[in-house]
Structure 1
Amino acid sequence: MITKKILINKGIICELVDNREDAIDLVRKSKFDLVLMDAHLPGINGTITTELIRIFDKTTPIIAFTAITLHENRKMLLSFGMNEVITKPFAPEEFYITIAEYI
């Protein structure tokens, strides 16, 4: 994943999962500074995953990734418990600035 490479290049340690169950399990068992959540990945549905995480973790920041236009979905994504929204494609420097606000 390109995003993981971008994070590693900045010295950020990250975990990558590809399904809802693993994401929920990992957040439940580990302490993270931040969760990056693909909002519309087929088969995962990041919005529902975020709602389920928020049942037991109300404080870890969750930032949504979405390829859909920001003005159409920002309010909806935030309503599921996400703290911020980053639209794809994104400029790496803007990405770093956004995540730095939460870690």
Structure 2
Amino acid sequence: MIHILIIEDEPGIYNFLKQGLEEEGYEITIAVNGKQGIDFFESSKPDIVLLDWMLPKISGIEVCKAIREKDSETPILFLTAKDTIQETIEGLQFGANDYIKKPFSFEELLERIKIHFRNKKRQNILALGNISLNTNTYEVKMDSSDIALTQREFELLEYLIRNKGNVCRRDEIIDKVWGINFEYDTGVIDVFINAIRKKLNLDKKNGYIKTVRGVGYIANE
């Protein structure tokens, strides 16, 4: 049974989610503040986390950071009324997999959860020049040096490498990497591309990842 940890302080919301998700066959644990959420994550090892942004004691962002320091794979979905592009970027940069604005429909939430549990057959090692990615361990190497990427940075780089030699449009990247059609400015992708280039020391014009002005990006050797 898939175990979902809900970290939310509003009884009306977490009771609604608990009832609906249990009826769908999920096992549910509720944490009503950030500290409790971190403790419950460590003790119960959930399969997915539904995380409110504004929480008592420890904010949702801090909870997300704390989880990602210990776990890079468990999907984290923010449930929040915050909806500016800056806040979206902040949440995703700290390791969230998704960002669902309140109010949302229960059907939408169910679909997002299913998306993040899709089984994908992935080959183990991908390469782009002297860059290698291990898709099982999330390890990235450049020559013999380890490179630390966030989960989302890794998945974006993986998508570009899997489509090596082809132009990847911004809307396609949002759909395939984030798994949804974001309502936000696709400029969020540029932030992640710049972070990847910086960590891999890639030149913007002559590196492996090139910008196709007005369209998207292409990975090439």
Q: TM-score range by the shorter chain?
A: 0.7 to 0.9
Aligned ranges for residues 50-69 of structure 1 at < 5 Å? 50-69=64-83
1:4 to 15, 18, 41: 18
Tell me, in whole angstroms, the C-alpha distance in 1 between the residues paired with 2:88 and 2:113. Answer: 16
Query: Do the aligned residues in 2 keep the contact of 1:35 with 1:63 (CA within 8 Å)?
Result: yes
Q: Is the 8 A contact 2:48 2:75 kept in 1?
A: yes
CA RMSD, 1 decimal: 1.6
SS at match of 1:40: coil
Partner of 2:62: 48
The answer on whether the counterparts of 2:34 and 2:55 sit within 8 Å (CA) in structure 1 is: no
Matching residue within 28, 38, 58 for 1:14: 28
1 or 2, which has the higher helix percentage?
Answer: 1
TM-score (norm 1): 0.88
TM-score w.r.t. structure 2 length? Answer: 0.43
Larger relative contact order (Cα-Cα within 8 Å, sequence gap ≥ 6): 1
Provide the aligned length of Structure 1 versus Structure 2: 103
Gaps of 5+ in 1: none
- Which residue is equivalent to 1:23? 37
Shift in Å at residue 73 of structure 1?
2.5
Give 1:2 shift: 1.6
- Kindly tell me: are residues 42 and 22 of structure 1, through their superposed partners in 2, closer, same or farther at Cα, counting changes over 3 Å? closer
Contact 2:82 2:101 survives alignment (8 Å): yes
1:100 corresponds in structure 2 to 114
Runs of 4+ in 1 over 3 A off after TM superposition: none
Aligned-pair CA distance for 1:20? 2.0
1:53-82: CA deviation from partner (whole Å, max 9, x where unpaired): 111111111110101226453212111111
Partner of 1:75: 89
* Structure-1 separation of matches of 2:43 and 2:89: 29
Larger fraction in strand: 2
> Whose Rg is larger?
2
Structure 2 stretches lacking a partner, 5+ long:
1-14, 118-221
